[in-house]
């Protein structure tokens, strides 16, 4: 699906299904430097359960025109313009990592439009190591290597190569996409203010071995949201939608049916 927002094309993968305004809509939000591709094992599964499923490419990411937006606040405002362009109702937000910050800020600004939120491998505050930011701003591939080292439990093997490395595969991607996202995450301060305001059904999914969002930090985040549910995936790191998409999506489906 190609949308036009502020005279720029926005790509949203829709699992190949026609948008039906009578169905609830799930919006999948990718993490730093990534794209809709990360949800490839999830979107079709959920779309087969009578949901509209839209996996967005943020500006400058994947197939969406740039430039990248420089703050989480800007991204939330942009998201609402996207949703308004296709008249989305009954909105369900699912965010991974940086996408969790975007979901929080969107809820803060547009609470009445959100029915449910699912946070995957995230927190209300995601400070980024300055060395990682410096490497990314220099377009150094070591930034991606560090992400992979911190992002996976143990030594993960992927058929056809590591998916993160496939998406962030050039110095330009590292410098002009990943670096901007990392700074946006590092600078975001409003998450804690949002927590006490969340009163919609919320699910938190964490990886037991996540080095980026340690389980102690993740559960503190989840426990700050009233009446929320938490699920921990054993022997799983930060890149949950790659490492254990099957358990993740089943738990999402169970939650949405409650």
Average pLDDT, the chain: 93
75-112 pLDDT, tens digit each: 999 999 999 998 887 799 999 999 999 999 999 999 99
Query: Which CATH number covers residue 73?
Result: 3.40.50.1820
User: Does residue 141 form part of some domain?
Assistant: no
Q: Which DSSP helix (H) or strand (E) runs through 116?
A: strand 114-120
pLDDT at 196: 86
Following DSSP, what letter does each residue of 148-176 receive, concatenated? HHHHSSSS---TTS-HHHHHS-SHHHIII
Instruction: Report DSSP state, residue 238.
Output: S
In a domain, 175, yes or no: no
* pLDDT band at residue 177 under the 50/70/90 scheme: very high
Range of the domain at 67: 2-124+189-257
Give the integer Cα–Cα distance in Å for 54 and 211.
28
Note whether residue 176 is domain-resident. Answer: no
The b/e string for 108-129 (b: 16+ C-beta within 10 A; e otherwise) is bebeebbebbbbbbbbbbbebe
Whether 154 has a pLDDT exceeding 90, the answer reads no
Contact 31/101 with Cβ under 8 angstroms? Answer: no
């Amino acid at each position: 699906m190609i949308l036009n927002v502020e005279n720029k094309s926005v790509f949203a993968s829709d699992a190949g299904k026609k948008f039906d305004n009578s169905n609830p809509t799930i919006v999948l939000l990718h993490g730093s430097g990534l794209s809709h591709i990360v949800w490839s094992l999830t979107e079709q599964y959920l779309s087969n359960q009578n949901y509209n499923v839209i996996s967005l490419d943020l500006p400058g990411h994947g197939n969406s025109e740039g430039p990248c937006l420089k703050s989480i606040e800007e991204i939330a405002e942009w998201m609402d313009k996207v949703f308004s362009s296709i008249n989305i109702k009954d909105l369900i937000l699912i965010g991974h990592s940086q996408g969790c910050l975007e979901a929080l800020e969107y809820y803060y600004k547009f609470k009445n439009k959100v029915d449910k939120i699912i946070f995957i491998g995230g927190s209300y505050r995601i400070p980024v190591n300055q060395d990682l930011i410096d490497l990314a701003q220099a377009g150094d591939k070591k930034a991606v290597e560090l992400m992979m080292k911190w992002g996976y439990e143990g030594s993960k093997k992927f058929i056809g190569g590591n998916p993160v490395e496939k998406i962030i595969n050039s110095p330009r991607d590292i410098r002009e996409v990943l670096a901007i996202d990392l700074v946006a995450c590092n600078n975001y301060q409003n998450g804690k203010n949002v927590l006490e305001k969340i009163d919609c059904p919320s699910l938190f999914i964490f990886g037991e071995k996540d080095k980026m969002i340690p389980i102690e930090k993740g559960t503190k985040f989840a426990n700050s949201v009233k009446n929320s549910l938490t699920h921990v995936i054993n022997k799983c790191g930060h890149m949950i939608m790659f490492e254990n998409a099957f358990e993740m999506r089943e738990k999402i489906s169970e939650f949405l049916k409650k």
